[in-house]
């Protein structure tokens, strides 16, 4: 997984869930979240929705996919 792949995906889609991004780059949600934090810190990506603490509480699965708030990321243009 690369930061450039995440950037390209978000620039194309404008917004995506953590699960969608992880699937796109073929990595775990934890690894993608850590990589996205770099873009968040640079002010290029905005995070919204539920976080890892909220994900999966309804079913216990931890993926945040079908229940509860979605952790969403949005690319911010300069």
Query: What residue spans define the domains of the chain?
Result: 3-75
In which band, very low, low, confident or very high, does the pLDDT at 1 lie, cut at 50, 70 and 90? confident
Give the residue from 62, 59, 54, 72 showing the smallest Cα distance to 28.
62
Whole-model pTM: value is 0.72
pLDDT in tens, 4-27: 999 999 999 999 999 999 999 999
SS3 40: helix
pLDDT in tens, 37-73: 999 999 999 998 865 444 444 455 555 555 556 899 9
CATH class given for the domain over 3-75: mainly alpha
């Amino acid at each position: 997984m690369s930061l450039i792949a995440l950037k390209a995906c978000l620039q194309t889609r404008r917004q995506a869930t953590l699960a969608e991004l992880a699937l796109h780059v073929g990595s775990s949600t934890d690894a993608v979240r850590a990589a996205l934090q770099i873009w968040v810190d640079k002010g290029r990506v905005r995070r919204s929705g539920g976080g890892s603490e909220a994900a999966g509480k309804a079913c216990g699965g931890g993926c945040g996919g079908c229940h509860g708030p979605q952790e969403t990321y949005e690319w911010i243009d300069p």
